[in-house]
């Protein structure tokens, strides 16, 4: 069955096909040759969904945003999502060692738990920790990434203080797909594959990624501290990721969508207290801080029904999410390890009304339930403190968002009300005013508020949680300029943020570590990303200045470098593509006022197209073998490399 008009999904397919020939303005990883120069000017025509939970061209978006495509990721040859995000202006990534180790993202100086991560519209932030480990997501399964910088709680609710990252998984046309493999340093091995089934009306895509590494010793022991961790072994990992993405057209106006993801893995790390009593006496209690290994298992599935006409788009979706982590090792059997499980059920009902060509309104309802559980009731060490005081909560929210265009003037606003069980209610908003000075130049003023609800650990951790905590709150003002010209593009943003009620853990009057709303932060910053097409080369410079201070002490916030800069050079010659990346990170401080020195890192990659389908690729990271840390005492990998083959059909 063929639609009489181009549907939203078809427009997306057309947009994604065009972007394979274009260069991303904000991410700017793609390599292009002179034949692609015309596509550079049309990069802003990519479709953006995350900013307002409805489709809009990037060129008309009033928010600071980034769109990264699978083409960008392939040319970057990224092995983990952190490598991709670390190149984005305004984002700083920290890692507790090499690949497979925990990594976290700080967006515009906010905390690592103040950026909301979505995968195909599904919330995946942990309900217990309140954040996401970005090392567990396979880049090979990503179709595109949308990044919205600045608060977006008025559309997405809790966690969206620094920004929102949404990942869209790959969808293949019927009979098309890819397969690939690579080998690398530290015994790294990877294999991946994807394929599409069906036809224009009913299709299903499946993809798989499996990888493992022996790793290296990620922790640098302090020789002056006799009580420091001293576990000089390799910290490896293994992981498998599966994803499914499908849709079925019932008629011209109704379609069903299905997305799902399953991840299972194991990673080794260095224990907080390596001398476990279980080594000599297995009957001894061995709590999780003796463990040095973790199994993780994460899954979600979402089913959506979409009704679309020229005037109305209605989307009703149901998602089920489950995450579990089990810590063990160092004399602790896996069966005796500590397991924590989070379950979430999520419902969203979004309706977009196009009242006129110049006026659009979105009305939305969100509901989700979070539930946490643990097996620690079998552990005599934690007897009496086995479970959270409260292990479930509901969140219900409604929002309205509107956009009015008057000639060259664009006005946009959103308001959302969240009712969080056992915590209370929060109302947030965004207001933007933009002006198209010319067809190529947009300026906008933006103001928004955001919040983060306390996690289950903050509120109800056995023996030390604080159920009286308030949500963290933020207000951000932003000035944005976006300009496109014949041989390049520029985006410049300046912002300031005030974050209050920050939750911090500290000893109370009885010496018990407990969280409280005691901190506040003042953050100011400037971001600039410029891309130039000069001859046969693409040149990208992304610079961020971030002044993130404790509002009370005026001390720098930990793990936030003031200055970061990334320069990417791309060059194409015949069947070869070359990519060179230089990354600079200013010094920063970590916990205990330990200073992390500044560093500059160089990476070099090359690809050779054996045919239109078969490609050989090689990459060398940390070319000059720099020694550096983004988390105190956790060393980054030295010079390392990968080589592989990929085949598309």
Inter-residue contact 179 to 199 (CB < 8 Å): no
- Contacts of residue 350, defined as CB under 8 A and 6 or more positions apart, other chains included, come to 53, 54, 314, 315, 362, 363, 364, 365
Neighbours of 303 (CB within 10 A): 14
**Radius of gyration (Cα) for the chain, nearest Å?**
24
User: Model confidence at 222, in pLDDT bands (50, 70, 90)?
Assistant: confident
Q: Which residue has the higher pLDDT, 30 or 40?
A: 40
pLDDT for the residue 202:
97
CA distance 388 to 385: 8
Q: What is the pLDDT of residues 309-329, one digit of tens each?
A: 999 999 999 999 999 999 888
Neighbours of 38 (CB within 10 A): 11
The closest of 568, 577, 647 to 182, measured between CA atoms, is 647
Q: Is residue 232 helix, strand or coil?
A: coil
Can you list the domains of the chain with their CATH numbers?
Answer: 8-648 (2.40.170.20)
Inter-residue contact 607 to 617 (CB < 8 Å): yes
Inter-residue contact 537 to 570 (CB < 8 Å): yes
Q: What is the pLDDT of residues 435-445, one digit of tens each?
A: 999 999 999 99
Strand-strand pairing, 56-57 and 640-648: unpaired
**pLDDT higher than 90, residue 269:** no
pLDDT for the residue 45:
63
CA distance 469 to 546: 28
Average pLDDT score over residue span 632-636: 92
Average pLDDT score over residue span 613-624: 98
pLDDT for the residue 578:
97
pLDDT for the residue 289:
59
> What one-character DSSP code corresponds to residue 552?
T
CA distance 446 to 431: 6
Average pLDDT score over residue span 85-108: 92
Q: Quick one: tokens of 468? A: 């009286």
Q: What percent of the chain has pLDDT over 90?
A: 72
Inter-residue contact 78 to 126 (CB < 8 Å): no
How many angstroms separate the Cα of 353 from the Cα of each of 3, 10, 153, 250, 362?
21, 20, 21, 22, 6
pLDDT for the residue 18:
35
Average pLDDT score over residue span 513-530: 95
For the chain, the average pLDDT equals: 88
Inter-residue contact 415 to 400 (CB < 8 Å): yes
Q: Which residue has the higher pLDDT, 428 or 279?
A: 428
Q: What is the pLDDT of residues 471-481, one digit of tens each?
A: 999 999 999 99
Q: Which residue has the higher pLDDT, 220 or 638?
A: 638
How many angstroms separate the Cα of 596 from the Cα of each of 23, 54, 575, 585, 627?
34, 41, 41, 10, 11
Q: Quick one: tokens of 578? A: 């070359």
Residue 432 burial class via C-beta count within 10 angstroms: exposed 0-12, middle 13-18, buried 19 and up: buried
């Amino acid at each position: 069955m063929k639609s009489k008009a181009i549907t939203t999904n078809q427009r997306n397919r057309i947009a994604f096909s065009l972007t394979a020939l274009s260069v991303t303005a904000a991410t700017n990883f793609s390599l292009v040759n002179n034949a692609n120069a015309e596509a550079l000017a049309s990069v802003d025509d990519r479709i953006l969904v995350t900013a307002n939970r409805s489709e809009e061209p990037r060129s008309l978006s009033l928010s600071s945003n980034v769109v990264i495509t699978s083409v960008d990721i392939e040319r970057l040859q990224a092995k983990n999502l952190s490598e991709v995000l670390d190149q984005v202006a305004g984002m700083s990534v920290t890692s507790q060692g090499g690949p497979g180790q925990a990594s976290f993202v700080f967006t515009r100086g906010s905390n690592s738990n103040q950026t909301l991560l979505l995968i195909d519209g599904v919330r995946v932030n942990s309900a217990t920790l309140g954040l996401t480990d970005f090392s567990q997501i396979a880049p090979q399964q990503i179709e595109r990434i949308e990044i919205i910088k600045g608060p977006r709680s008025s559309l997405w609710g809790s966690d969206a203080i620094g920004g929102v990252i949404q990942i869209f998984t790959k969808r293949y046309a019927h009979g098309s797909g890819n397969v690939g493999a690579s080998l690398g340093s530290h015994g790294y091995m990877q294999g991946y594959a994807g394929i599409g089934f069906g036809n224009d009306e009913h299709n299903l895509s499946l993809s798989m990624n499996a990888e493992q590494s022996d790793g290296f010793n990620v922790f640098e022991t302090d020789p002056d501290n006799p009580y420091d961790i001293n576990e000089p072994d390799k910290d490896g990992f293994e992981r498998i990721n599966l994803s499914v993405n499908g849709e079925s057209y019932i008629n011209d106006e109704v379609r069903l969508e299905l997305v799902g993801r399953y991840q299972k893995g194991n990673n080794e790390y260095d224990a907080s207290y390596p001398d476990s009593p279980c080594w000599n006496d297995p009957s001894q209690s061995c709590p999780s801080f003796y463990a040095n290994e973790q199994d993780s298992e994460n899954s979600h599935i979402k089913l959506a029904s979409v009704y679309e006409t020229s005037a109305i788009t209605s989307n009703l979706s149901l998602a089920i999410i489950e995450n579990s982590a089990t810590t063990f090792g160092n004399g602790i059997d896996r069966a005796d390890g500590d397991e924590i499980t989070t379950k979430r059920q999520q419902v969203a009902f979004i309706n977009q009304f196009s009242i006129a060509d110049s006026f659009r309104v979105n009305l939305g309802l969100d509901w989700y339930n979070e539930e946490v559980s643990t097996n620690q009731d079998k552990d005599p060490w934690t007897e009496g403190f086995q479970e959270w005081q409260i292990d479930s909560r509901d969140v219900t929210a409604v929002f309205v968002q509107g956009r009015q265009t008057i000639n060259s003037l664009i006005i946009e606003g959103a308001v959302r009300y969240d009712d969080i069980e056992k915590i209370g209610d929060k109302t947030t908003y965004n207001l933007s005013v933009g002006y198209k000075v010319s067809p190529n130049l947009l300026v906008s003023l933006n103001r928004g508020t955001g919040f983060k609800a306390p996690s289950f650990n903050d509120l109800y951790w056995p023996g030390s949680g604080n159920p009286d905590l308030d949500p963290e709150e933020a207000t951000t003002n932003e000035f944005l300029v976006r300009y496109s010209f014949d041989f390049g593009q520029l985006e410049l943003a300046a912002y300031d943020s005030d974050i209050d009620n920050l939750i911090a853990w500290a000893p109370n009057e009885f010496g018990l570590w407990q969280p409280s709303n005691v901190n506040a932060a003042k953050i100011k910053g400037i971001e600039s990303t410029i891309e130039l097409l000069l001859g046969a080369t693409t040149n990208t410079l992304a610079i961020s200045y971030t002044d993130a201070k404790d509002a009370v002490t005026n001390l720098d916030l930990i793990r936030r470098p003031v200055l970061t800069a990334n320069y990417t050079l791309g060059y194409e010659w015949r069947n070869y593509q070359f990519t060179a990346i230089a990354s600079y990170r200013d010094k920063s401080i970590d916990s205990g006022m330990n200073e992390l020195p500044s560093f500059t890192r160089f990476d070099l990659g090359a690809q050779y197209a054996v045919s239109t389908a078969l490609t050989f690729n090689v990459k060398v990271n940390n070319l000059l073998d720099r020694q550096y840390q983004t988390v105190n005492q956790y060393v980054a990998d030295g010079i390392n490399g990968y080589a592989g083959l990929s085949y598309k059909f």
